[in-house]
Amino acid sequence: MDLAGRRVVVTGGSGFLGRHVVTELEAAGAEVVGVGRADHDLLDRSAVTGMLEELAPDALVHLAATVGGIGANQREPGRFFYETALMGLQVIEECRLQRIGKVLVVGTVCSYPGNTPTPFREEELWAGYPEETNAPYGLAKRMLLVQCQAYRAQYGMNAVFLMPANLYGPGDNFDLVGGHVIPAMIRRFGEARDAGRDEVTLWGDGSPTREFLHVADAARACRLALERYDGPEPVNVGSGREIAIGDLAALVAAAVGYTGTVRWDGGRPNGQLRRRLGVDRARDRFGFEATVELAAGIAETVRWYEGRS
């Protein structure tokens, strides 16, 4: 799809990834409409119908979901499952009915089975149940992949599906309850530095590994997939590199300027032991490779967070 002059709707367009996707697609010449919950409630089927009739897009990027870190997933697994699945099911079905030219759905690395060998390869997605701390959310996203594949098979719908690694970057959610690991660490270390505290407590024991992808890289992957990819297979989007959470904490603390110690709360869950994606398919199918190094991306994110007015 040549994006120049095309109208593209981005659900979740006011969110963290959504804002970057809107900017990326506009730079490619698209007319982009970012949709947030305040604009159209995607849990309401009639609102979804009205949105597409009103905006009449050539393509749609579906990012909207109910998301959060391990703690949020544990507190509200039912809501995370129901709202994430329902929004996606309704958006994809209405795109089919209104014959939207292309639909890109963004899933999650949380959909992979808890015991997936690293690197996670797309062929392993159905080899088991997701890691318990975020399984309902991960399964809801899996169902949207099934819907995309079924609609392609039965209706010829051009629906594609990406599975990004953990995202971070400027504009992230720095809430200590609902935020993800990097922004939460930045805030905790910054507050401890400013208060003169010599110790910060973090969940788990620091041993699990995670792969992180800068949000600008993720947005570029979405653009490339819209432009170049047309296939039923899900595609991992990541850096292909993992880091232990303990090493990540040291990296973030250094970027923040925090010189105290970290106490690990082993009574809190670690989550999945390792996460690293196989990224060959994204490179081969639509030419995506991550470019932002983790240390540089964290430093940029710290500057953004501390420079807010």
In 3D, which of 45, 84, 63 has the Cα closest to residue 9? 63
129 noted as active-site residue: no
**From 137, 151, 168, 258, the catalytic residue:** 137
Q: How would DSSP label each residue in the chain?
A: ---TT-EEEEETTTSHHHHHHHHHHHHTT-EEEEE-TTT--TTSHHHHHHHHHHH--SEEEE-------HHHHHH-HHHHHHHHHHHHHHHHHHHHHTT-SEEEEE--GGGSBTTPPSSB-GGGTTSSPBPGGGHHHHHHHHHHHHHHHHHHHHH---EEEEEE-EEESTT----TTTS-HHHHHHHHHHHHHHHT-SEEEEES-S--EE-EEEHHHHHHHHHHHHHH---SS-EEES-S--EEHHHHHHHHHHHHT--SEEEEETTS---SS---B--HHHHHHH-------HHHHHHHHHHHHHT--
Question: What whole-number distance in Å separates Cα of residue 192 and Cα of residue 204?
Answer: 19
Token pair for residue 20?
Answer: 């970057």
Whole-number Å distance between alpha carbons of 262 and 246: 9
Our CA dihedral for 91, 96, 101, 106, rounded to 10 degrees, sits at 40
Length of the chain: 309
Residues involved in catalysis: 137
